[in-house]
Structure 1
Amino acid sequence: MDQLDKFNRKYNFVSKISAAFVYSLAVAIALNFFWTPGHMYSSGITGFAQLINSISQRFLPFEISTSLMYFVLNIPLFVLGWTKIGHKFTFFTAVAVIMGSIMMKVVQPLNVHWDPLLCAIFGGAINGFGTGFALKNGISTGGLDIVGIVFRMKTGTSYGKFNILVNLIIIAAAGFVFGWTRALYSALTIFINGRVIDAVYTQHKKMQVMIITEHPQDIIDGIQDKMHRGITILHDAEGAYGHTEKTVLITIIDRYDMYDIRQIVRKADPYAFMSVSEVEKVYGRFKEQEIV
């Protein structure tokens, strides 16, 4: 058992470091290959760092690099993550931010003149994938990721929707300072970024599962032992075709749990009927997966 625990810890560490590297490469490619050549702004702290870089180029005698500001602006948010989310989570977030800052310098910008629409689509998609992949592996990419997770823990609001809402500030700033054409493409890349994050990072999505079965206890035991979810039991249901007595089980799960619950139901009752629907919001007692 000690060897298994040691292996799990080692595997978990490697997976998080790998996710941090994937994100750092994704944000560097999105920034230097698409956003900078396309003259548009990213979402979150990266977008604010770009704005400060542009302002320094225009109005200051020296230039403040995007990579430096990306790291500096994240420092106070590390404190928020450390106190509100978890120490390990914040440690790996710091690793992702440091890697991202380095990769922004290492990956050199392309001197190309691509269509702004192409830059907006590919920049948002690549960064959204990197961010969602990092979140899916239990780390964040700093900045609004941390604020968004704390906000979601308090309200249950979708992370991607929060991301899009807050980044309207960046769109407005880009419009007033640098022109509304650039703001339009910035809005597009921010929207795509948020939607791709939601597509990749599905932990916050809740699913209602209804199971109609003749062997309820085996399914109940499997769900409670492996997933620790509450279940509502409706007795005395009747099938219209065979007029056999059945039991209806209703539970709410994370989308992450879909594979597990399908295996549990299939093993306990191969003939059970199961329907799944996405839940917009959950009120009452529901245990979120812990972020550490």
Structure 2
Amino acid sequence: MKNFKSRRMLIFIGRIIMTVLGAFITAYGLESVLIPNQVSDGGITGVSIVGSKMFDIKLGYLIAVLNLPFIWLGYKQIGAKFSALSIVGIFSLAIFTSIMHHIPTIIEGDSLLVTIVGGVIIGTGMGLALRNGGALDGIDMFAVLLSRKLPFGTSDFILFLNIFVFILVSTVFGFEGAMLSAIAYFIASKVIHLIEEGLSGSKTFTIITKSPQPIIEEIREELGRTCIYNEVLGGYTDKAFTQVTCVINRLEEQKLKEIVSDKDPHAFIAIYDVSDVKKGEFIKQDLQRHQQ
């Protein structure tokens, strides 16, 4: 039990370090790329940037203060660990933006390059924080709460709320600045998704077939993967089938399709993206061991 608690503590410390690193990267993207080129971020950070420009208040102060209600919301809706990591991330972002306020701008003038590089940098930082259980911006927490109260998805509310943020941005950076900010935010959101989902590109195959054993054996021999299966009934025909489920990486996708097509050309296949895979029997086995 003591070793288990020590391991959990080390994992939590590691998450804190990665969240701080994410805040550092995000602050660098804001202060060295976006803000000097009159481009903002979305969310509470975007509102903070506008407030900083309009009222001549340090950006770090506004990021810390404006996010406080959302940190409490995160604590009530998601939990203490998420709230603690978000506090670390948001206050680290506030400190780093203050420290980096006068660092040299690494890109100037080229609007397309500014939005791409800035979006990638801040997306990387925010993605690191989210992947490790925290957040650097409170608007996502607010969107989660609204989605629970109203019949719309979280992503719908994030988009809706950011429309108002970019309208606000246009009052300081103009229409062009608001459009560039929206593009940078879009790029950042895609990078965040990539980091959260991981680079492995794991996929789940669900196969409905009348010939499960040849498929399962071939998957084991050719890919070194195991499967699970269970009996199912067709809703229209009421006939019995077997549902086979297997998790693979994206490089094995075409090979698995060939295996299924060869063993049962009439099999039904559904493919799903998988964000993460943790141990268990789905771990890939050594092919040489199976072929001996």
TM-score normalised according to structure 1 size: 0.70
Following superposition, the deviation at residue 54 of structure 1 comes to 1.3
2:275 to 240, 244, 255: 255
- Matched residue, 1:286: none
Following superposition, the deviation at residue 4 of structure 1 comes to 3.5
Following superposition, the deviation at residue 137 of structure 1 comes to 1.3
- Matched residue, 1:179: 174
- Matched residue, 2:236: none
Say if 1:164 and 1:194, in contact at 8 Å, map to a contact too: no
Which ranges of structure 2 fall in alignment gaps of 5 or more residues?
218-225, 234-239, 244-259
Say if 1:36 and 1:109, in contact at 8 Å, map to a contact too: no
1:117 to 100, 103, 112: 112
1:246-285 equivalences in 2 (<5 Å): 254-257=274-277, 262-263=282-283
Deviations 1:55-89 (A, max 9, x none): 11xxxxxx211110000011111111111110111
Say if 2:46 and 2:169, in contact at 8 Å, map to a contact too: no
SS of equivalent to 2:283: helix
Say if 1:42 and 1:190, in contact at 8 Å, map to a contact too: yes
Say if 2:25 and 2:121, in contact at 8 Å, map to a contact too: yes
SS of equivalent to 1:256: coil
Deviations 1:192-215 (A, max 9, x none): 111111221229x99653146426
Following superposition, the deviation at residue 178 of structure 1 comes to 3.6
Amino acid corresponding to residue 48 of structure 2 in structure 1 = A
- Matched residue, 1:276: none
- Matched residue, 2:206: 210
- Matched residue, 1:40: 39
Mean Cα displacement is larger for which, 45-54 or 14-23?
Answer: 14-23
TM-score normalised according to structure 2 size: 0.70
- Matched residue, 2:237: none
Deviations 1:150-199 (A, max 9, x none): 4567779465x654443222222222444212112112111111111122
Paired with 1:47 and 1:24, the residues of 2 have a C-alpha distance of: 15
Paired with 1:99 and 1:87, the residues of 2 have a C-alpha distance of: 18
Say if 1:37 and 1:110, in contact at 8 Å, map to a contact too: no
Mean Cα displacement is larger for which, 248-257 or 38-47?
Answer: 248-257
Following superposition, the deviation at residue 249 of structure 1 comes to 10
Amino acid corresponding to residue 165 of structure 2 in structure 1 = I
1:81 to 61, 69, 74: 74
Following superposition, the deviation at residue 148 of structure 1 comes to 3.9
Amino acid corresponding to residue 168 of structure 2 in structure 1 = A
Say if 2:231 and 2:242, in contact at 8 Å, map to a contact too: no
Number of residue pairs matched by the alignment: 248
Paired with 2:69 and 2:90, the residues of 1 have a C-alpha distance of: 13
Paired with 1:74 and 1:8, the residues of 2 have a C-alpha distance of: 31
Paired with 1:191 and 1:199, the residues of 2 have a C-alpha distance of: 13
Say if 1:164 and 1:190, in contact at 8 Å, map to a contact too: no
1:133-212 equivalences in 2 (<5 Å): 133-150=128-145, 157=153, 159=155, 163-202=158-197, 209-211=205-207
Following superposition, the deviation at residue 123 of structure 1 comes to 1.4
2:94 to 101, 105, 116: 101
SS of equivalent to 1:133: helix
Distance 1:202 1:232, change over 3 A: farther
Following superposition, the deviation at residue 21 of structure 1 comes to 1.2
